[in-house]
């Protein structure tokens, strides 16, 4: 004889990490979202500075190769220090912007990945990775319960007797 | 045998592996072209250009670790600089990007060297 089981009972299958650590990892999502907002302005500012550095370097080479006082070959002339600093700072700035703009990586271990989705829900991501982020425990949570055949049969017998 | 058993006990999500590798490859391709622009503007030649590239590439990996991996990885209780939560190999995060972006770096390096020093 089978005991009827409610199908809508929520199974809280949090595999890992331990509940004491879950606040630390759930703080990570909104923080990186606010950081991602910075990505595009940083990249644009860096590109502008880099373009200015490129123009300055070009002008410096042209001027120093055509000037009469220093008739040195273009490859032998060294750039002024501020162009070096400008270029390297711009490169680091764009680099920072691109890193902030790159997507957050997903955990590769199945239990970590599934536990994260179970805890945070699949509303955190865009619709692009919908199938990647759908709850992996849906098959367990939406399963149908057991059917109590003998109870149904006795109900049916009662129904039949009622009709007579 | 033992690694197969390990995979059965702790399964790996292939979608996540592909997603992480794609993220890292995209980032390194983009930044490598950018470093080529920088090296070309500075007019670096021979070994200095490659040293520039390697230094900035490792900086990018470090930034990626600090900003994207470290908050959740350290929260999980892993050691610092351990990328095992997101990447299978220990060296995948640190070295694969260097070789992925090298052609793009050389391309933009030579292009901008020629443009600036013309």
Instruction: Pick the residue from chain B with its C-alpha nearest to A116.
Output: B72
Residue A60 sits in the same domain as residue A127: no
Instruction: Name the band, by pLDDT with cuts 50, 70 and 90, for residue A3.
Output: very low
Contact A110 B67 (CB under 8 A): no
Residue A127 placed within a domain: yes
Residue A63 placed within a domain: yes
Burial code (b: 16+ CB inside 10 Å, e: under 16) for B73-85 equals bbbbeeeeebbbb
Nearest to B31 among A95, A108, A110 (CB): A95
Place of tokens 């490598």: B32
Query: Distance (Å) from the C-alpha of residue B95 to the closest C-alpha of chain A?
Result: 16
CA distance B41 to B78: 40
Tokens representing B4?
A: 């197969």
Residue A83 sits in the same domain as residue A143: no
Number of domains forming the structure of chain B: 1
Contact A110 B116 (CB under 8 A): no
Place of tokens 């007797």: A161
Nearest to B71 among A28, A88, A92 (CB): A28
Interchain contact A2–B (C-beta under 8 A): no
From the number of C-beta atoms within 10 Å of its C-beta (0-12, 13-18, 19+), residue B25 rates as middle
CA distance A77 to A70: 9
Instruction: Name the band, by pLDDT with cuts 50, 70 and 90, for residue A134.
Output: low
Residue A69 placed within a domain: yes
- CA angle at A88 for the pair B62 and A66, rounded to the nearest 5°: 155
User: Would you say A111 and B54 are in contact if contact means Cβ atoms under 8 Å apart?
Assistant: no
Q: Which residue has the higher pLDDT, B115 or A8?
A: B115
Residue A147 sits in the same domain as residue A119: yes
pLDDT, position A79: 78
Residue A68 sits in the same domain as residue A31: yes
Residue A20 sits in the same domain as residue A86: yes
Q: Which residue has the higher pLDDT, A142 or A34?
A: A142
**Residue B51: its H or E element:** helix B47-64
pLDDT along chain B (118 residues), means of 10: 75 82 89 91 88 91 85 75 76 82 91 86
Number of domains forming the structure of chain A: 2
SS3 B6: helix
Write down which residue in A66, A82, A102 finishes a domain: A102
CA distance A133 to A136: 8
Contacts of B13 in chain A (CB under 8 A): 106-110, 113
Residue B6 placed within a domain: no
Query: Distance (Å) from the C-alpha of residue B91 to the closest C-alpha of chain A?
Result: 16
Q: Where are the beta strands (DSSP E) in chain B?
A: none
Residue A142 placed within a domain: yes
Instruction: Name the band, by pLDDT with cuts 50, 70 and 90, for residue A1.
Output: very low
Structural domain boundaries, residue B72: 14-116
In angstroms, what CA-CA distances link A157 with A150, A151, A163, B8? 10, 10, 10, 50
Contact A28 B72 (CB under 8 A): yes
Residue B73 placed within a domain: yes
Structural domain boundaries, residue A61: 16-102
Residue A9 placed within a domain: no
Residue B21 placed within a domain: yes
Could you report the predicted ipTM of this complex, rounded to two decimals?
Answer: 0.84
Interchain contact B55–A (C-beta under 8 A): no
Contact A102 B31 (CB under 8 A): no
Contact A105 B45 (CB under 8 A): no
């Amino acid at each position: 004889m089978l005991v009827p089981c409610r199908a809508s009972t929520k199974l809280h299958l949090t595999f890992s990490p331990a509940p004491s650590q879950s606040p630390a990892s759930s703080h990570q999502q909104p923080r990186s979202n606010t950081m991602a907002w910075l990505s595009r302005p940083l990249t644009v500012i860096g590109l502008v500075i880099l373009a200015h550095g490129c123009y300055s370097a070009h002008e410096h080479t042209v001027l120093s190769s055509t000037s009469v006082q220093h008739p040195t070959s273009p490859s032998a002339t060294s750039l002024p220090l501020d162009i070096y600093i400008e270029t390297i700072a711009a490169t680091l700035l764009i680099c920072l912007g691109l890193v902030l703009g790159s997507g957050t990586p997903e955990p590769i271990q199945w239990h970590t990945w599934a536990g994260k989705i179970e805890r945070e829900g699949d509303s955190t991501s865009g619709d692009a990775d919908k199938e990647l982020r759908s709850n992996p425990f849906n098959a367990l949570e939406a399963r149908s319960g057991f059917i109590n055949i003998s109870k149904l049969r006795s109900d049916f017998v009662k129904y039949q007797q009622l009709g007579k | 045998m033992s690694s197969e058993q390990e995979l059965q006990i702790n399964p790996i999500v292939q979608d996540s592996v592909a997603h992480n590798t794609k993220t890292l490859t995209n980032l390194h391709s983009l930044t490598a072209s950018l470093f080529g622009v920088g090296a070309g503007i500075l007019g670096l030649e021979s070994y200095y250009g490659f040293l520039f590239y390697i230094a900035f590439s490792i900086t990018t990996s470090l930034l990626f670790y600090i900003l994207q991996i470290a908050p959740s990885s350290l929260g999980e209780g892993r050691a610092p600089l351990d990328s095992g939560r997101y990447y299978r190999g220990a060296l995948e995060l640190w070295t694969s990007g260097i070789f992925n972006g090298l052609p793009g770096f050389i391309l933009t390096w030579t292009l901008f060297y020629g443009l600036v020093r013309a």
